[in-house]
Amino acid sequence: MCRARIHRKEIMMPRHKDCITLLDYSHDEIAGILSRARKLKAERGAADAKILHGRTGVLIFEKPSLRTRITFETALNELGGHAINLESSMVQIGKRESVEDVARNLQRWVHLIIARTYSHNTIVKLARACSIPVINALTDLYHPCQALAFAQTVWEHLGSDSRPWIVFIGDGNNVCSSLMALAAQMGYNFTLACPAGYEPPAEVISACSEKAEKSKCTISVSHDLVDAVRNATVLYTDVWTSMGQEEESSVRQKAFSGFQVNKALLAHCSQNVLVSHCLPAHRGQEITSEILDSKQSIALDEAENRLHVQKAVIHYLLS
C-alpha cells in the first residue's frame, strides 16, 4: 500500500486511536494537526496526500449536516479513499443493533468510522468496541473538528504564535465546550457570556479549568455581556437552540434576547476584533447579517477549514 511521507515532528507522539474530544490531545498534538492542516491546504490535490488509497471510511449521521457531511466525504475522496454514507435510519444504532455490535461489524470491513450522534456516549461506545479509529463529527457534548477549524482560521488571521482571548456568546453547547477545551489546551483565555443556567456541564468546565492551570490561561463564565467582550480578540456565537432542543425554542429566544452579536455590541470591543459562527446561523437572532457578512467575520474561512483540519485528523489517525 502506498503511504504518504509524513514528517513525524509535525504531530507529536504518542498517537491516539480516536478523535473524541480535544481534552484528550496535548498542546503539541493539536499544533501538529494544525500544521499538517495548513500544509494540506497549501498542497491541496498533491499526489503524496493519498494515504487512504484502498481504504474506506463510513459516515454515520443521526443529525442533519451540510458542512460536516460534505467536508468529510470530500476529505476521504481527496485523500484517495472511499466514503460510505450509512443512513441512520438504515442502521438504527443502539436500537436495531447495539452500538457495540455495529462497531465490531464495521471494523471487519472498513478502516475509519465518522459519527455524528445525539448522545456523546454513543461515540464513546463505538470507540471502545472497535479497533479502528472513530472521529467525533458532533455529539450533544463536543464538536472537536469545529474547534480545530476555528484554531486554523485564527492562525491564518493572527499567526500561530498568537494567544487570542476568545469570548463565546450564547448557549454553553457542544461548540462552546470544544472551544473551551481548545483554549485550555492551547493557552488561550476563554470567556463564556451566557444567561444564568445555560453554562456547559460542570464536569466540562472543571476539566477545562484543570487543563488551563497547566497552560497558564483563564477559563471564565460571565453573565454580563458588555463586560465579557471588552478584552476579546475573537467573538464566537452559535444558534440559541441546538438540534434536539426545538421544544425549548421560545423559552431560549427569550432568555438569550440580550446576547445578540450586533453592531452595538462590537462598539465595546477592539476595532480589530474578529467574529465567527460555526453555522448554520439564525440571522437576526444570535447574530445580525450586518456582522456575519462583515469584513470582521471569519465564519466562512472557518467553514472552509473544516475540510483541511479533518484531512489532518485522518492523517494523524491513519498514517
Q: Where are the domains of the chain?
A: 8-142+305-318, 146-302
CB count in 10 Å sphere of residue 238: 26
Residue with cell 482560521: 153
Cα distances from 272 to residues 115, 158, 165, 235, 308, in angstroms, run 37, 11, 12, 11, 26
Alpha-carbon distance of 251 to 199, in angstroms, equals 16
pLDDT confidence of residue 47: 60
CATH of domain 146-302: 3.40.50.1370
Contact 11, 316 (CB under 8 A): yes
Q: How far apart are CA 22 and CA 275, in angstroms?
A: 22
Rounded distance between C-alpha atoms, residue 151 and residue 147, angstroms: 6
pLDDT per residue, tens digit, the chain (319 aa), is 333 333 434 444 446 999 999 999 999 999 999 999 999 999 998 765 688 999 999 999 999 899 999 999 999 999 999 999 998 777 878 788 999 999 999 999 999 999 999 999 999 999 999 999 999 999 999 999 999 999 999 999 999 999 999 999 999 999 999 999 999 999 999 999 999 999 999 999 999 999 999 999 999 999 999 999 999 999 999 999 887 788 888 999 999 999 999 999 999 999 999 999 999 999 999 999 999 999 999 999 999 999 999 999 999 999 8
**What pLDDT does 48 receive?**
57
Q: What is the CATH number of domain 8-142+305-318?
A: 3.40.50.1370
Residue carrying C-alpha cell 499538517? 36
* pLDDT for the residue 263: 98
Note the pLDDT of residue 96.
Answer: 86
Would the CA dihedral through 64, 300, 37, 200 be positive or negative? negative
The answer to whether the 8-142+305-318 and 146-302 domains have the same CATH topology is yes
For 108, the 3-state DSSP assignment is coil
Which residues are marked as active site? 116, 143, 146, 238, 278, 306
Which pTM was predicted? 0.93
| pLDDT on residue 231 | 95
Q: What is the pLDDT of residue 272?
A: 96
